[in-house]
Amino acid sequence: MIKSVPTEHRFTAPRNLGAVFGRSSKSGPFLWILPAGMCVILIFGYSIIDLVQQSFKYRGDWVGFENFSLVLTDPLFRIAIFHNFLLLFTVPILASLSFICAVLLFETRKGMKFYRSAVFLPYILPIPVVGVVFGQLLQLNGALNSALRAMGFENLALDWLGDPGQALLTMSAIIIWKEVGFGTILILARLISLPLETLEAARIDGAGFFRLHLKVTLPQLKPVILFYIINEAIVMVSWVFNYVYVMTNGQGGPGNATVVSELYIYRSAFQNKSPELAATAALLLLLATLIFIIGFFKIQRNTKGGVFNE
């Protein structure tokens, strides 16, 4: 499905004009698609072509792969990529938690709607708000630590955001807190649409709660869980800027403890004024995302009528 078709060729007129101006149609699809098509070509097509050009140039001159070797040997870029890599470890946690929450909600009749809204709420909150509120909550003398101290867990009252060894873990926990609602809703929606007979049959055969859901429910949910995993992997690699920017005042601190690739790009372009390096890093990030996009398509093809066409 996704062949390498150059963007410029996307809207060339079909050879067989009869297909366009068919019996029952008078205007043809071209005019209907034109406005949106132009906008998408400008925002995506132009940008990606320009990005590739910029990453091979320095102050307008062609420099080959020099930008790439500069970026790839930059210690800060390596740290940033490593942090994105570490964030990927939240994905299996997210998938498991979402599955558990979805099953719990599915099995609950009393108050299901209320719990569902509550679990989902974090996902719709703006990240700047989440970042600011958690920032206050997790201060050294903030609400969390004062609660921990009051309960006698003095040792657990860490410097959640100020300790370089701790900051990225804290950030991961906040991301999990926010993203788990999405997975829950996604899996729950699929769960509700599954045929009930298999579940009931297993229940009558005496399968207990845990056995039932691990052996019967989980396999049937594989496509939607895989979709969620790919989606979250893309988030961890290329959509975490907002968390880091808001919680560290755009610095990725303490030290470089929370610098991620997006922040590296942003800072290279707008703080260090080297758009060429930023463009190169952005191109590398796009290529990394592309790997996940391919996985995304494989799943989509395997689950025709499954996850996407509900």
Partner 1 sequence: MSKKHTPIEKVGITSRQLVLILITSMAAVPGYLMVTGSLKTQEEFLNSPWSLPLHPNFKGYTAAWNDQFPTWFRNSLFVTLLAVLITIIMAASAAWGFAHWKWKGRDTVLGILISLMVVPPVVLLIPLFTLGAKLGWISTFRMLILVYIGLMLPFSIYLLTNFFRAIPVSLTEAAEIDGASDFRTFRSVVLPLSGPPLITLTIVNLLWAWNELLLALVFLQSDDKKTLMVGITGFQSRYSLSIPTIMAGMTIATLPLFITYIFGQRYFITGLTAGSVKGE
In terms of residues, how long is the chain? 310
Number of residues that bind partner 1 (CB under 8 A): 113
Residues of this chain, 221-250, that bind partner 1 according to CB under 8 A: 227, 231, 234-235, 238-239, 241-242, 245-246, 249
Q: Least distance from C-beta 266 to partner 1, angstroms?
A: 7
**What span, in angstroms and rounded, lies between the C-alpha atoms of 192 and 302?**
21
Q: Of residues 98, 101, 172, 223, which one binds partner 1 by CB under 8 A?
A: 101
Count Cα neighbours of 246 within 13 Å in the Cβ-side half-sphere.
Answer: 18
Q: Does 33 bind partner 1 (CB under 8 A)?
A: yes
**Does 37 participate in binding partner 1 (rule CB under 8 A)?**
yes
Q: Is 99 in the site for partner 1 (CB under 8 A)?
A: no
Spatial contact of 130 and 240, defined as CB atoms under 8 Å apart? no
Instruction: Indicate whether 218 belongs to the interface with partner 1 (CB under 8 A).
Output: no
> Which one of 64, 92, 126, 165 is in contact with partner 1 (CB under 8 A)?
126
Which among 56-64, 71-79, 103-111, 199-207 is the span making contact with partner 1, rule CB under 8 A? 103-111
**Spatial separation of the C-alpha atoms in residues 228 and 223, rounded to whole Å:** 9
> Which position among 82, 93, 122, 162 is part of the footprint of partner 1 (CB under 8 A)?
122
With binding defined as CB under 8 A, does residue 213 bind partner 1? no
Closest CB to partner 1 among residues 79, 224? 224
Under the binding rule (CB under 8 A), the answer on residue 136 touching partner 1 is yes
Q: Cα(286)–Cα(292) distance, rounded to whole angstroms?
A: 10
The interface mask with partner 1, positions 78-97, x = CB under 8 A, is --------------------
- Single-letter code of the amino acid located at 13: A
Residues in region 145-204 near partner 1 by CB under 8 A: 146-147, 177, 181-182, 185-186, 189-190
Q: From CA 94, how far away is CA 98, in angstroms rounded? A: 6
Rank residues 143 and 165 by Cβ distance to partner 1 and give the closer one.
Answer: 143
Please answer whether residues 264 and 77 qualify as being in contact, where contact means their C-beta atoms are separated by less than 8 angstroms. yes
Which lies closer to partner 1 via its Cβ, residue 99 or residue 227? 227
Prior bond of 35 cis (ω within 30°): no
Name the phi and psi angles at 18, rounded to 5.
-60, -30
CA atoms within a 13 Å half-sphere pointing along the CA-CB vector of 50: 9
Residue 201 identity (one-letter amino acid): A
Q: Does 128 bind partner 1 (CB under 8 A)?
A: yes
Chain positions 260 to 289 lying near partner 1, rule: CB under 8 A, are: 262, 265-266, 269-270, 275, 278-279, 282-283, 285-286, 289
Check if the beta carbon of residue 72 is closer than 8 Å to that of residue 85: no
What span, in angstroms and rounded, lies between the C-alpha atoms of 273 and 294? 33
Q: Least distance in Å: CB of 86 to partner 1?
A: 18
Task: Tell me which of 8, 14, 96, 214 binds partner 1, using CB under 8 A.
Answer: 14
Residue of 65, 69, 85, 121 interacting with partner 1 (CB under 8 A): 121
Residue written as token pair 């859901």: 213
Q: How many CB atoms lie within 10 A of CB 158?
A: 17
Contact 192, 106 (CB under 8 A): yes
Q: Output the smallest distance, CB 91 to partner 1, in A.
A: 13
